[in-house]
Amino acid sequence: MKTEVRAKTLQLNHFIGGEFSAGSSGQTFDTINPATNEVIATVALGTADDIDRAAKAARKAFETGPWPRMSIRERCDVLRKIGDIILAKREVLARAESMDAGKPISESLEGDIPRSAYNFHFFADYAQSVHEDLFSVGEYERHMAVREPLGVCGLITPWNLPLYLATWKIAPCLAMGNTCILKPAEWTPYTATLFAEIVQEAGLPKGVFNIVHGLGANGAGEALTRHPLVDSISFTGETSTGKAIMAAGAQTLKKLSFELGGKGANIVFADADLEDALSTSVRAAFRNQGEICLAGSRLFVEDKVYPDFVERLVEKVKQIKVGDPLDPKTQMGALISKEHLQKVEGYLEMGKKEGKLLTGGTRLAELPNGNFLTPSVFTDLPFNSRFCQEEIFGPALPVIPFKSEEEVINMTNSTPYGLSASVWSTDVDRCHRLSTKLRSGLVWVNCWFVRELRAPFGGQKSSGLGREGGRYSLDFFSQTKTITYKYKK
Ligand code: NAD
């Protein structure tokens, strides 16, 4: 990442106290288009000073501003407006997201951006139904559990679903009356900056929403996790980063929510609807270039149907159209960075040594400047190899045969992760047995990535801490206070 200042390129600044501003150091870094490796924009490089300015602005807005004092209905009206403006700017946001993250424009247009708007529309409705408890002791004693905001919330997000995941945190955070500081991933700062213009347009009071761009460790991200005026951190990213944030946040006892890495599984039994299992497993493995925490990045297939299933799988994978993210026909775009491409290629080499590559794993000759990789399928890899245990976060799928339920449950549960798994079978009792025995925060039966925003979302084991979605998000972004009345008879 470079830090020189360039003339005439787009400049993405911090958004602090309702104003866009360059960093206190004057330093910048580049955000790069993964499809061309050309600079899209220079970005203000946040420092501990910038985080301090943002924390003070957010604290002031929390302590003395109107936002926490408004009725929930008034706050939700602003949230709804933000959702409406996101939809109105869908094309611009989708293009920016695809340029910055390398993802197909069809996914940004039909997936990421509408979902970002829906995050606001959903919480604008849902937050108004949030309940508070009342405990009566006889006729003259009442204990009220009143919900209050937390204060200033730090939100730290990854690059794979930039606006989608940022808004998934911002909407419930604001609904509960908090103020916040977003530290977007350094690889994808573009749509966050456009989003700041949207909150201005929607009339969100100054200081309620702030952005500081920059790096994680030793940068703006780490400074945010240590700042004494920040009450909580909601983080989505790698498991190792979660551990570092937990250690840093311990000094000021921050409330924490973590959505971390995954090594999802698709488990296909011989009695399943094999056509559906096949096409969904392909989508699960390669959607968003395989850069999804919920990716079905291991495919277990019952031995009776394994050879035929693998043959059909390879045919289907070969048909995936890899190419320019801005082409509407593209199904798989570019990996986020050269470094990430090389990391994924390292795993491919490992896979070739220990197992058998059936298709893919090559760069795109026609687009040599971008971080493109064709989708790959491997067999003959031990389930406990690094390839099958670690999160590759790229388009590389190992297929592993199994003989029994017990065997596949053990293999699925063998990784440190526990985010998601899909079970494919027409035997409901078997599906039930698996769904109870898999150590995973989400189990899909005969489907993948089917989401309901009221339902809890999050991982077991090293995949996370806490849950997001519906009341689970509202619970995280609020705290209860018990107020007791003792009336006179
Ligand atoms: P990352 O952990 O490298 O970075 C995520 C964010 O954390 C970035 O904004 C980064 O700047 C910041 N950061 C890094 N080090 C930090 C530190 N020491 N202190 C504070 N902030 C720090 O993750 P990534 O590479 O951007 O994203 C990919 C990872 O995210 C994968 O592991 C993926 O599975 C995970 N993910 C999980 C979910 C989920 O819901 N469970 C969703 C999407 C992505």
Q: Look at residue 325 and tell me whether its pLDDT is greater than 80.
A: yes
CA distances from 306 to 301, 313, 314, 379 (A): 6, 10, 12, 11
Query: What percent of the chain clears pLDDT 90, i.e. is strictly above it?
Result: 98
Q: Is the dihedral of CA 320, 348, 391, 161 positive or negative?
A: negative
The dihedrals phi and psi of 131, each to the nearest 5 degrees, come to -105, 160
- The one-letter amino acid code at 17 reads G
Centre of ligand 1 to C-alpha 275, Å, is 34
Tokens representing 338?
Answer: 């050269």
Q: Is the pLDDT of residue 280 over 90?
A: yes
Reported as a pLDDT band with limits 50, 70 and 90, residue 9 is: confident
Residue pair 50/82 in contact by the 8 Å Cβ criterion: no
Instruction: Report whether 115 contacts 87 (CB < 8 A).
Output: no
Q: Both tokens of residue 86? A: 């996101």
Task: State the average pLDDT over residues 328-352.
Answer: 98
- Nearest-angstrom CA–CA distance, 237 and 160: 9
Nearest one of 97, 275, 107 to 187, comparing CA atoms? 97
First to last CA, the chain: 71
Å from CA of 157 to ligand 1 middle: 6
- CA–CA–CA angle 170, 416, 115 (5° rounding): 25
DSSP string, 338-383: HHHHHHHHHHHHHHHHHSEEEE-----TTSTTS-----EEEES--T
Domains of the chain, start order: 10-260+463-482 (3.40.605.10), 265-453 (3.40.309.10)
96 has pLDDT over 60: yes
Residues 78, 203: Cα–Cα separation, whole Å:
7
47 lines ligand 1 (CB under 6 A): no
Using one digit for the tens of pLDDT, what is the confidence trace for 149-208? 999 999 999 999 999 999 999 999 999 999 999 999 999 999 999 999 999 999 999 999
**What is the β-pairing status of strands 376-379 and 396-402?**
parallel
Can you give the pLDDT at residue 8? 57
* Helical residues (DSSP H) of 177-264, grouped into ranges: 190-202, 220-226, 239-250
User: Closest ligand 1 atom, CA of 240?
Assistant: 2
| Atom 8 (ligand 1) nearest CA | 185
Nearest CA to ligand 1 atom 18: 217
Q: Which atom of ligand 1 is nearest to the CA of 225?
A: 20
Q: Given the DSSP bridges, would you call strands 442-445 and 141-149 parallel, antiparallel or unpaired? A: unpaired
188 lines ligand 1 (CB under 6 A): no
> What's the pLDDT score for residue 223?
98
Mean pLDDT to the nearest integer, 128-145: 96
Nearest to 270 by CA among 221, 313, 304: 304
Instruction: Report the distance separating Cα 340 and Cα 329, nearest Å.
Output: 24
